[in-house]
A and B are shown apart, each in its own frame.
Chain A
Amino acid sequence: MAVETRTVTTRRGIEAKVHTRGDGPPLVWFHGAGGLFPVESMLDMIGEQHTVHAAEWPGFGEEPTEGYLEDMLDFTLHGWDLVDAMELGETPDVAGHSMGGMIAAEMAAVNPAGLGSLVLLCAVGLWIEEHPVPDIFSMLPFELAQVLFADPVAGEAILTAGLDFSDDAALTNFLVLNARRLGTAGKILFPIPNRRLSKRLYRITNPTLLLWGEQDHLVPPVYAERFQEQLVSTAAYIETLGGAGHMLPYEQPELAARAIVTFLS
């Protein structure tokens, strides 16, 4: 599917690339701590029914803008600043994966009138002592696939696609990217990915889909139930998809796209 990329500037002056695809009512997409991937099949498939606007988060694009964001409120307001800068002309639905889901939920909590429906895919943001979210910040690169994917072997290939670690310049480039991305993510996820979203979830009045991978070993499906319990002011639906771990949009893009499109219609 054709993707159109433009640069928007928020009122605060932060430049960000927005990748737009598809046709239909607007859906704003917030990526996870791994950033946008070269291939985003799930977004392509959603694009058949919706215009999907995927924004690059500070720290994940080329511009070194991550210094602007320090705490959860900075992240939340930047999310709204981005939506404003996109000048969509109508109220969008908002969806986010993992860290992006946490940001989307925070955005909905501070401004539920600003969006239509909310889709949280394997969202972080809560903490259940009996089911601690593993510490990705102390994991070695080769340990990540095991936690993130239902099929770690296939997942490893997705994570390392096109990277040649024997090349020093490529390795340095990877380390820089990784430091910027996860360094930025760490501002709201380190050392425990809980910035008290649970105190604010009651404010969300938007219909919400909690879409989870059945084999999510990072944020297990029990977290979907906890979200549902705490979303007391709205109808929240849980859908759990087999054959998928935390990286649900990349392991089962078709199933995930179908679930999202069905929910939004």
Chain B
Amino acid sequence: MKFVWFNLQPWPYLPKDFREKHRSVWVDIPNSLFDPVKGHEMYNTYLDQLEFADSVGYDGIGCNEHHQNGYGLMPSPNLIAATLARRTSRSAICVIGNSIAGYNPPNRVAEEFAMLDCISGGRLIAGFPVGTPMDTNFCMGQIPALTRDKYAEAHDLIIQAWTRESPFAFDGKYNQLRYVNTWPLPIQKPHPPIYIPGGGSIETWDFCLDHDYNYSYLSFFGYKAGKALLDGFWERRAERGDADENPYRASFAQIVCVADTDAEAEKLYAEHILYFFNNCLHIHPGFADPPGYRTINTIKANKLSQLRQETMEMFQALTWRDVVDNGLVIAGSPDTVAGQMEELAKTLRVGTVFCLQHMGDMTDWKTRYSTQLFAEKVMPRLKDIWSEYDGSKWWCQPLDDRRVNDEASFANARRSPEFPADYPEGAI
């Protein structure tokens, strides 16, 4: 199995009466609630945590894109990934991903992802979400009924920009470019592995299966609720006559909290997890499902959005027991967590888990404690699940001979100029 450490980078200072005073944590949340000076500390703390996760042995570290969002402060995940590419050397850098339907022109993503792949030595995993309606439609202004079409064109342009003989002309419906000629190109060939974060739309399953991309279900609602959608993905695969059951074709996001005992987990993490569910998921339902965003097939199949009103109402007064018993959060001692993680992997048939280990307003020391315990006491017990499958097709293939970013290389970056031996004296 592969484990990716992932944080949403939430604003941890939402007022206690946020729910009562504001209708949504996303789109129209007043930016007067943001304090840039606290933001300085916040971003650096979150980046430190990602580097810490790399240092303790996670297979990957990840980031994602949200806009105008009080629980996700990475409008540009590529900036986060760029800092990680320079400060780590080992783990995959999973950008899950760029909301390409909103980019103009989207070959900018081909360029930036290629930069990240080059800087990191081929460690990039490239995510291409259709994007939530909150981000793509309400924050980025894209027309709901045309979003999928624009997404499909953006995807085609990016793949061509990475793989076609250049320059070439791209005469798209939304993008007309006379000279597509990507500089730089990614190290990984033909391109970095592609993950498609999706909800439950049939079109997204088909898109992943058509291209053999990883279907990544990034839910906050845990593996028990997530089973229906992963089952849907695997069943769709079977319906299409696709025999490949390799679990690395799918991934899942799960909130995970590890402590010494189950009781300690509750004591340490309950308040922060409930801050997330009760404040951060307070989203105006009208932003979650603008007419035209979901396809008619998906509506008819009743694959309703995870953010629909009824779902949101479930989370108004959650308790720790609710979130733990329903599998929204896997929390407890290393034994408890390992047992449930194994159940997750096997019932959902996923090879990669995005471990959400910082949630809400969790403090730094608790985040590190949970992270370290998971790396030391849980991961080793799960590593060999699915060892009979080769997941390399859905994982990055870095250069063996790549730069090692460590204390020595940081010091090296600051060295004074050394003139070549044959440089003529007195030339300066």
Q: Are A186 and B143 in contact (CB under 8 A)?
A: yes
A70-B299 in contact given A139-B286, A140-B285 (Cβ < 8 Å): no
Nearest CB in chain A: distance from B137 CB, A: 7
A175-217, CB under 8 A of B: which get 1 and which 0?
1101111111111001100000000000000000000000000
Please name all residues of chain A whose beta carbon is closer than 8 Å to the beta carbon of B291 when the two chains form the complex. 137, 178-183, 185-186
A183-B144 in contact given A140-B309, A191-B137, A191-B138 (Cβ < 8 Å): yes
Interface size for A (C-beta < 8 A) is 24
Candidates B144, B285, B300, B302; contact of A190 at CB < 8 Å: B144
Q: Are A187 and B146 in contact (CB under 8 A)?
A: yes
Candidates A143, A178, A183; contact of B145 at CB < 8 Å: A183
Candidates A70, A137, A175; contact of B290 at CB < 8 Å: A137
Q: Are B145 and A187 in contact (CB under 8 A)?
A: yes
CB proximity to A under 8 Å, residues B133-167: 137-138, 141, 143-146
Query: Considering the chains assembled together, what is the distance between the CA atoms of A182 and B296 in angstroms?
Result: 13
A190-B290 in contact given A138-B284, A183-B144, A184-B145 (Cβ < 8 Å): yes
Query: Considering the chains assembled together, what is the distance between the CA atoms of A138 and B137 in angstroms?
Result: 10
Interface size for B (C-beta < 8 A) is 23
- Grouping DSSP codes into helix (H, G, I), strand (E, B) and loop, the A interface class, with mixed when no group exceeds half, is helix
- B358 adjacent to chain A (CB < 8 Å): no
Q: Are A183 and B292 in contact (CB under 8 A)?
A: yes
- A172 adjacent to chain B (CB < 8 Å): yes
Q: Are B296 and A180 in contact (CB under 8 A)?
A: yes
* Residue from A178, A182, A186 having most chain B Cβ neighbours under 10 A: A186
Nearest CB in chain B: distance from A72 CB, A: 12
Please name all residues of chain A whose beta carbon is closer than 8 Å to the beta carbon of B293 when the two chains form the complex. 183
A176-B299 in contact given A138-B286, A138-B290, A139-B286 (Cβ < 8 Å): yes
Please name all residues of chain A whose beta carbon is closer than 8 Å to the beta carbon of B145 when the two chains form the complex. 66, 183-184, 186-187
Please name all residues of chain B whose beta carbon is closer than 8 Å to the beta carbon of A64 when the two chains form the complex. 296
CB proximity to A under 8 Å, residues B271-305: 284-287, 290-294, 296, 299-300, 302
Query: Considering the chains assembled together, what is the distance between the CA atoms of A180 and B309 in angstroms?
Result: 20
Q: Please report B residues at the A interface, Cβ cutoff 8 Å.
A: 27, 137-138, 141, 143-146, 173, 284-287, 290-294, 296, 299-300, 302, 309
Beyond known contacts A139-B286, A176-B300, A182-B291: 18 more, CB 8 A cutoff: A64-B296, A137-B144, A137-B286, A140-B286, A140-B309, A143-B286, A172-B300, A178-B291, A179-B291, A179-B296, A180-B291, A183-B292, A184-B145, A184-B292, A186-B144, A186-B291, A187-B292, A191-B137
Q: Would you mind naming 17 contact pairs between A and B with Cβ atoms under 8 Å apart? A: A64-B296, A137-B137, A138-B286, A140-B309, A143-B286, A168-B302, A179-B291, A180-B296, A182-B292, A183-B293, A184-B145, A185-B291, A186-B143, A186-B145, A190-B143, A191-B141, A191-B143
